[in-house]
Structure 1
Amino acid sequence: MKPSTFHSVESAWRVHVEPKWGKRAIGGVGHSEVQAWISGLATTHSATTVLRVHGVLAAILDGAVHDKRLTQNPARAVRLPKKQRGRRAYLTHAQVDTLATQSRYPTIVYTLAYTGIRWGELSGLRVRNVDTARRRLRIEENAVLVNATMHVGSTKTNEARSVPYPGFLTEALRTACIGKHPEDLVFGTGDAHARRPQSQDGWFASAVRRAQALDPTFPRISPHDLRHTAASLAISAGANVKAVQRMLGHASATMTLDTYADLFDDDLNRVSDALDRARSSSVVANLLPHDGPTM
């Protein structure tokens, strides 16, 4: 389990599950009581929090079922709140330029917006991972700040991947690597990882506010939204779902489609147009005169 995931799970146990169920005998936990508890939490907490809290309790009771201490899990088959996916913000090329020019770290903005790597992957990027000849970034590490401690480990999927970047970024990345050893970090000080900017008064939020002052249509975004922008720009440029999956490091193409289904609407339009053309060709063919049998 990744440190950030462990932190979330431990917090769910400590804040919600243990106070309610920690001293209860598992045989006394009833389905209706779990349902009432979950329904109550859903009125005061986000769906994400409720789902995580339920997952902790359900996993503990799953263990009791496997150990033959319970015949069935009373936390399963509970009605759970559904996450409401908000509308994503996708920047245009021009808006990425605006944000970058208003930012203290334009190379970071461009790298996130045109490669789709996660912040932790950018923070863990080392000089040896930058191949300017092939225009590739080798993503091998993820650096995440949890409780003021930087945890460095493998990527989210535990697999390294090669991510392409557009040619205009070559010089900026080469400059970021000047004077550094192969094991040094590209961003940050070289030996200390770049920390994610604060959400309200960090350099990224300040750049967004300046961009909004210049462009009233500029959306309110976080650094992670640049990952969505990268997917949008790649798809609009003609990248297929498999290429986008590899670029973003998703576990499967299905995950990419589920995450960015709205970006593939043009594919549906092409299917519709192709069917229309096929039908038209078929109808025209049937209307053409046919020679009768020769005598």
Structure 2
Amino acid sequence: MASIRKLPNGRWQAQYRPYPGGKQVTRTTQRKVDAQRWLDEQTTALVTGNYVDPNAGRVSFGDYFERWAARQLWAPGTERAMNLAARSVTFWDVPMRSLVRSHIEAWVKTMQSADRGLGKPQGLAAGTIRTRFNNVRAALRGAVKDRIIAADPSEGVRLPRGRRSDVAMELPTALQVRALLDAADRDFRAFVALCAFAGLRLGEAAAVQVGDIDFSGRTLLVRRQVQRERGGGVEIRSPKYGSERTVYLADGLVTIVKAHIARLSARGAEHWLFHGDNGNPPHQNTVGYWWRKAREAAGSPTIKLHDLRHFYASGLIAAGCDVVTVQRALGHSSATVTLNTYAHLWPTAEDRTRSGASSMLTEVLAEMAYAEIAPSFHEAEQSKPS
């Protein structure tokens, strides 16, 4: 039931009860027309199913996030990332109904210009800011669905622009990968090879067992990954969503892995290919130490281990593999992820046109007897670097 009444002080009070037996909601205004407009808005929201109880938004962002997070089915790594993002906000104690776009913009600005203890402002990378923003935004969208707030205050907030993938990506050359293999410790060489020639992520390569490899079929089954726990221990769990896959191995990689397994003291199907502490596979800190040693010895101090995965992807693309083939080989959740990362490596229409015309020209001139054309063409072809 809704009504409007005039108070003794001359102001107007609109009131309604959203649900039978529910608490009455009121608002006082100077003019009757304003009270009527507000009452009409609340009534419309009730009818259309978009009603938000004004009292529900009194809870702070922090309190709502903790209650919302407790209901989510997250992997441990996701839970840590979500908590890190939520606790970095500058509006933890602000009531949800008071949250506006400027709160979100101020937080983003703080992340961009944060002092990280280096003596001068040096904010988070654009990709890190985007990840934290999206994690917090998930909670805000949850609040909209829970009818705590009427709209997502992060909608339309601009984020710092990251570098284009074709500029930011560092692709190792074949010579650099060869130098890294040569410089790696003997027991780490197969690890580097699995990243460079099978595209495995660090955690996936660390979690490979002898039984995951079919030497006769030349395949490797990716079905688990290693994650480092807070106390320094190791957690074994399923790969990232959509990353379970079969990787088809090159003959040379099979040879490298066979030689590595031949040196292992135990060769059962459940034996780890690589070893960390206490009989466990290595976690990222251990692998990071091995990697830094190898890249320094190879004279490539800026190459990251994950760049070997890019090297593998670039090789598949150069060999003519389509998007879906590369997606499945890398274990991406969708072809969109693959394209967003590697679109710049695929030949453009201009490249394909030029290549097609060149093939036709080569075939035609190979049959030509015109001395003034054919010899000069063949000389130009032979002078091209191989």
Q: TM-score interval w.r.t. the shorter chain?
A: 0.7 to 0.9
Q: CA deviation at 1:158?
A: 4.3
Percent identical pairs in the alignment equals 28
Structure 1 contact 118–224 (Cα < 8 Å) conserved: yes
Distance, in Å, in 1 between the alignment partners of 2:359 and 2:268 is: 58
Alignment RMSD: 2.6
Structure 1 contact 187–193 (Cα < 8 Å) conserved: yes
Structure 2 contact 82–136 (Cα < 8 Å) conserved: no
Structure 1 contact 127–185 (Cα < 8 Å) conserved: yes
Match of 2:320 among 238, 241, 247: 238
User: Is 2:345 the partner of 1:263?
Assistant: yes
Deviations 1:198-255 (A, max 9, x none): 698x22222212222xxxxx57211111111111122223333222211111122232
Q: CA deviation at 1:130?
A: 0.5
SS at match of 2:141: helix
Match of 1:27 among 92, 97, 100: 97
SS at match of 1:260: helix
1:196 corresponds in structure 2 to 284
1:93 corresponds in structure 2 to 174
Deviations 1:97-118 (A, max 9, x none): 2111111021111121000011
The residue type paired with residue 166 of structure 1 is A
Distance, in Å, in 2 between the alignment partners of 1:4 and 1:126 is: 22
Alignment of 1:1-295 (within 5 A): 1-14=74-87, 16-17=88-89, 20-44=90-114, 45-46=123-124, 47-85=126-164, 86-104=167-185, 105-147=188-230, 148-178=232-262, 179-188=266-275, 191-197=279-285, 202-212=289-299, 218=300, 220-265=302-347, 268-271=350-353, 273-274=355-356
Rg larger for: 2
The residue type paired with residue 94 of structure 2 is R
The residue type paired with residue 10 of structure 1 is N
Structure 1 contact 199–222 (Cα < 8 Å) conserved: no
Distance, in Å, in 1 between the alignment partners of 2:242 and 2:258 is: 27
Distance, in Å, in 2 between the alignment partners of 1:239 and 1:267 is: 16
Label 1:199 to 1:191 Cα distance change in 2 as closer, same or farther (>3 A): closer
SS at match of 1:97: helix
Structure 1 contact 204–223 (Cα < 8 Å) conserved: yes
Structure possessing the higher relative contact order (Cα contacts under 8 Å, 6 or more residues apart) = 1
Structure 1 contact 115–165 (Cα < 8 Å) conserved: yes
Structure 2 contact 292–301 (Cα < 8 Å) conserved: no
SS at match of 2:284: coil
Label 1:249 to 1:199 Cα distance change in 2 as closer, same or farther (>3 A): closer
Structure 1 contact 126–183 (Cα < 8 Å) conserved: yes
Distance, in Å, in 1 between the alignment partners of 2:129 and 2:189 is: 38
The residue type paired with residue 345 of structure 2 is L
Distance, in Å, in 2 between the alignment partners of 1:263 and 1:149 is: 38
Label 1:143 to 1:266 Cα distance change in 2 as closer, same or farther (>3 A): same
The residue type paired with residue 192 of structure 1 is N
Structure 2 contact 91–103 (Cα < 8 Å) conserved: no
Stretch moving more, 145-154 or 128-137: 145-154
Structure 2 contact 209–273 (Cα < 8 Å) conserved: yes
Distance, in Å, in 1 between the alignment partners of 2:281 and 2:330 is: 21
Structure 1 contact 89–219 (Cα < 8 Å) conserved: no
Stretch moving more, 20-29 or 190-199: 190-199
Q: CA deviation at 1:152?
A: 1.4
Structure 1 contact 121–141 (Cα < 8 Å) conserved: yes
SS at match of 2:298: helix
SS at match of 2:346: helix
